[in-house]
Amino acid sequence: MKETDATLPPIGAACIDDIHQRDTARAVLDDAAETKLISKVTWRLVPLIFIAWFINYLDRANIGFAALQMNQELGMGPEMFGFAAGIFYLGYIVFEVPSNMMMHRFGASTWLARIMFTWGLVSVGMAFVQTPQQLYVARLVLGIVEAGFFPSVLYYLALWFPAKHLGKAISQVYSANIVSLIIGSPISALIISHFHEKGGFSGWRWMMIIEGAPATVLGVVAFFYMVNKPSEARWLSPAERSWLVGAMASEQATAASKGSATFKNALAAPMVWLMGCLYCCIGIGFFGISTWLPQVIKQLTNLSIIEIGLVSAIPFILGAVAMIANARHSDRTMERRWHLTSALIVGAAGLAASGLTSSMPLVSFIFICLAAAGIVGSLSVFWTIPPTFLAGAGAAGGMALINAISGLAGFFAPWLVGVVRARTPDFTLALYCLALSVAVAVLLAAFLPYSKSQRLRSD
């Protein structure tokens, strides 16, 4: 049976002193050996998590492409589609924190495997809905079973990667959801077009089955392959394991002494709520673009479904490049605030400019690409901040709460665009609304009460 994080003692003053004593006796690695170790950990963990995140976001976001056939088949207008896309996040929000605390209890790898397996089953089940109401229920249940995946992954990475390597690791994994939008869009479009009416099923129904089934298989693989924490990693040498265990224990003790290491204190910390609001504002811009982009392109052009899939990938290709480049530079300089803020400025300006030029389709699309680069470029840098003031159960609960608050964006962004779109002939006003939300995120990021030397008050 796997040893889980539940066997770890609570981090208090005595525990911190004990960690410090052990830390001084741990193995010493030179720069070359440390680089080799981080590379080994990366190649062992990141590919599987990357694939899981890719499938996760593909199953979550493919409703945007399903809409090209599904809306007419189920008799849904813009507002109904926006509600169906967004209701996923209501279940996600309610069960986010409980799911992450279960993850802390049973171990990240075990809980991640459970999430993958169950979301795959529900995703396949969505292929059999017959009414808008059934679709609402299926999307809600998908959010419930998938709740906790995102913060669990972030928490898992924070157990394995020291701070100076964490931004790069997050950007590598986080780029999976961007890659799912890049290659997932053409794949979804191809499935919808090629399998339409095969076996009496619509193309969008085949898409749900084909893209959902791999998650169940991956859940089984993850259960046997993933390791909960560095102390259990038998694929590391004793010296590598000793150094990594000591390095991570030292960083967690520092975070606990300056911030929150308990679930209760993390949920009450103003910094956690502030970051949740910031991420929610970012998410409104991101989800607004990713959910509605296929329909925006359809309105601006006369492209086929497959061509729309290819064009939809362009903004997110730029976003993936921007995210990795921004994260690497932020890790190298260990500066977070202005890497986050400047990327969001680009995102807000791009959305506003796209709305301003909506009468010129090509120019408007170029500005959407710019907006995607800025918004996506901010994401990995954002998630390097919470592990600096959260540890242990506080990290599990705090990260879950941040993501749960941001889940409101997943509900309101698609619905907001749907409401606006139902009342106006184009997407201009909707783009202005998304730009305003990201502009608020700019202000929050610029004045975030965070620095490398000043973190949350000790518990």
- Whether 4 is covered by a domain: the verdict is no
- Whether 451 is covered by a domain: the verdict is no
Residue ranges making up the domain that contains 231: 14-446
- Whether 338 is covered by a domain: the verdict is yes
Question: pLDDT value at position 340?
Answer: 94
| pLDDT above 50 (res 457) | no
Q: Is the dihedral of CA 352, 356, 359, 363 positive or negative?
A: negative
> Is 145 in contact with 269 (CB distance < 8 Å)?
no
Lowest-confidence segment of 251-265, 273-287, 407-421, 436-450 by average pLDDT: 251-265
pLDDT in tens, 122-176: 999 999 999 999 999 999 999 899 888 877 888 888 889 887 888 788 878 877 8
User: What span, in angstroms and rounded, lies between the C-alpha atoms of 112 and 146?
Assistant: 9
- Whether 232 is covered by a domain: the verdict is yes
Give the SS3 label for residue 5.
Answer: helix
CA distances from 356 to 135, 283, 352 (A): 35, 21, 6
- Whether 459 is covered by a domain: the verdict is no
- Whether 177 is covered by a domain: the verdict is yes
pLDDT band at 216 (very low <50, low <70, confident <90, very high): very high
User: What span, in angstroms and rounded, lies between the C-alpha atoms of 309 and 317?
Assistant: 13
Q: What is the CA radius of gyration of the chain?
A: 22
User: What span, in angstroms and rounded, lies between the C-alpha atoms of 65 and 55?
Assistant: 15
Token look-up 């619905």 returns 415
pLDDT, greater one: 256 or 448: 448
Question: pLDDT value at position 429?
Answer: 84
Question: pLDDT value at position 396?
Answer: 67
- Whether 8 is covered by a domain: the verdict is no
- Whether 305 is covered by a domain: the verdict is yes
pLDDT band at 360 (very low <50, low <70, confident <90, very high): confident
pLDDT band at 9 (very low <50, low <70, confident <90, very high): very low
User: What span, in angstroms and rounded, lies between the C-alpha atoms of 438 and 351?
Assistant: 9
End-to-end CA distance of the chain: 34
**Which residues 6+ apart lie within 8 Å of 34 measured at CB?**
243
Nearest to 387 by CA among 459, 300, 455: 455
User: What span, in angstroms and rounded, lies between the C-alpha atoms of 215 and 53?
Assistant: 10
Write out the two tokens for 246: 């000591």
| Domains in the chain, number | 1
Lowest-confidence segment of 345-354, 365-374, 386-395 by average pLDDT: 386-395
Taking each helix axis from N to C terminus, what angle separates 163-194 and 31-61, rounded to the nearest 10 degrees?
30
Top-confidence range, 184-198, 289-303, 431-445: 431-445
pLDDT in tens, 63-79: 877 888 898 899 988 78
User: What span, in angstroms and rounded, lies between the C-alpha atoms of 130 and 36?
Assistant: 53
pLDDT in tens, 33-50: 888 899 999 999 899 999
> Tell me, what CATH number does 79's domain have?
1.20.1250.20
